[in-house]
Amino acid sequence: MSAKLYVKTVHITDEDLLVNQLTQKITLEYYLTEQVNDWEGTAKKRYGVEVVKRHVDHHACVKTEVVGVKDVLTNKEEMLSLIKNIAKHSVTPLTLKDVLEDMVG
């Protein structure tokens, strides 16, 4: 069984786009994911993260990228704190796995 809980949305501003030399506006959405695994007859909850990136390309088409990482932590509050931290730094789907590896190990 799995569930997904919305945590935060980050909109990259025009000022940020100029600094990063990007040409499209970007929206990032962050979700807490929860998986329940049966381990030797006992249900164990594990938490992960999903990042969704949306932007409009030069043809006015909405492009979406989604990356999720399951089974990161067993403590929900710690996972929420981690997600808020990666949202604060506008972590994208492309860099999510590397950032988590650096933060969690």
For 55-98, give the DSSP string: EE-TTS-EEEEEEEEEEEES-HHHHHHHHHHHHHTT--HHHHHH
Q: How far apart are CA 18 and CA 54, in angstroms?
A: 18
What are the pLDDT digits (tens) for 17-70? 555 555 568 899 999 999 998 877 788 899 999 999 998 877 778 899 999 999
- Are the C-beta atoms of 65 and 18 separated by less than 8 Å? no
Domain residues of the chain, as ranges? 2-104
Which of 53, 56, 47, 78 is closest to 65 using CA atoms? 53
How far does CA 53 lie from the centroid of its chain? 9
pTM of the model: 0.84
